[in-house]
């Protein structure tokens, strides 16, 4: 039986944005500038969505969310991502995710919470943050958690599909997408935890009475 290989949406999009990445680099545009511009665009799209303009909000957010693959592709073409670039990208992602789901919560609440959409949006917001945190924390501890059925781009595409259904007059469309997102986000959290546990290196024995090397509880960074 042939093995089914999961191809993340990010990889597909990154392949498609290579011409745009080359063009921007020729113009002297930096990956960091694209990261910030994409986040500003998501904020604008989220504002439209919160006011009930689901179609334009979805189009703007989805288009700007693609910069998450564009800036990474540009950085790789320039020879690699800098530490500050990685930090900036992660920080802007958290701001953008908060804006998108905050706008959805606001819109769903104003619509009277149809099909429990407000609750689903809140759960999706929290679960999405946990998905990202598990990966970042695992990497900081020397483990691998770079897996998952619903990474950030997939989550945004799912909520975008729901926004388009809602803009077409289907009241159930956005809440349905949100509940699907809840399930996939929770599954992704467990996928990453399991993968990280399996990737943990075997600790080396330390002196008698001391904890094994690498297992001392790390201090949580502030913020």
Positions annotated as catalytic residues are 93
> Cα-flanking dihedrals φ and ψ of residue 115, to 5°?
55, 30
Instruction: Please state, in angstroms and rounded to a whole number, the distance separating the CA atoms of residues 205 and 47.
Output: 55
Question: How far apart, in whole angstroms, are the C-alpha atoms of residue 148 and residue 181?
Answer: 13
Instruction: Give the residue among 195, 160, 200 at the shortest CA–CA distance from 178.
Output: 160
How many Cβ atoms sit within 10 Å of the Cβ of residue 1?
A: 3
Give the Cα separation of 122 and 110 in Å (integer).
Answer: 14
Distance CA 169, CA 128 (A): 27
Q: Using CA atoms, how far apart are residues 126 and 61, in angstroms rounded to an integer?
A: 19
φ, ψ at 218 (rounded to 5°)? -75, 150
Q: What whole-number distance in Å separates Cα of residue 98 and Cα of residue 113?
A: 19
Rounded to 10 degrees, the C-alpha dihedral 24/26/30/36 comes to -20
CA-to-CA separations, 134 to 77, 146, 193, 195, in angstroms, rounded: 28, 9, 7, 11
């Amino acid at each position: 039986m042939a093995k089914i290989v999961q191809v993340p949406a990010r990889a597909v999009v990154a392949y498609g944005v290579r011409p745009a990445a080359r063009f921007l680099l020729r113009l002297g545009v930096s990956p960091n500038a694209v990261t910030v511009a994409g986040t500003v665009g998501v904020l604008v799209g989220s504002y439209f969505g919160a006011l009930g303009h689901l179609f334009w909000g979805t189009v703007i957010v989805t288009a700007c969310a693609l910069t998450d693959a564009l800036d990474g592709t540009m950085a790789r073409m320039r020879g690699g991502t800098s530490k500050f670039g990685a930090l900036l990208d992660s920080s802007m992602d958290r701001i953008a995710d908060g804006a998108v789901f905050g706008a959805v919560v606001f819109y769903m609440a104003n619509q009277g919470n149809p099909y429990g959409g407000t609750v689903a949006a809140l759960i999706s917001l929290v679960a999405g943050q946990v998905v990202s945190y598990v990966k970042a924390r695992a990497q900081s501890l020397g483990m691998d958690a770079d897996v998952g059925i619903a990474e950030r781009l997939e989550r945004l595409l799912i909520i975008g599909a729901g926004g388009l259904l809602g803009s077409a007059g289907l009241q159930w469309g956005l809440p349905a997408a949100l509940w699907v997102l809840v399930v996939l986000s929770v599954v992704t959290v467990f996928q990453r935890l399991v993968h990280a546990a399996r990737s943990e290196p075997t600790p080396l024995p330390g002196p008698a009475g001391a904890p094994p090397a690498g297992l001392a509880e790390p201090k949580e960074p502030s913020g």
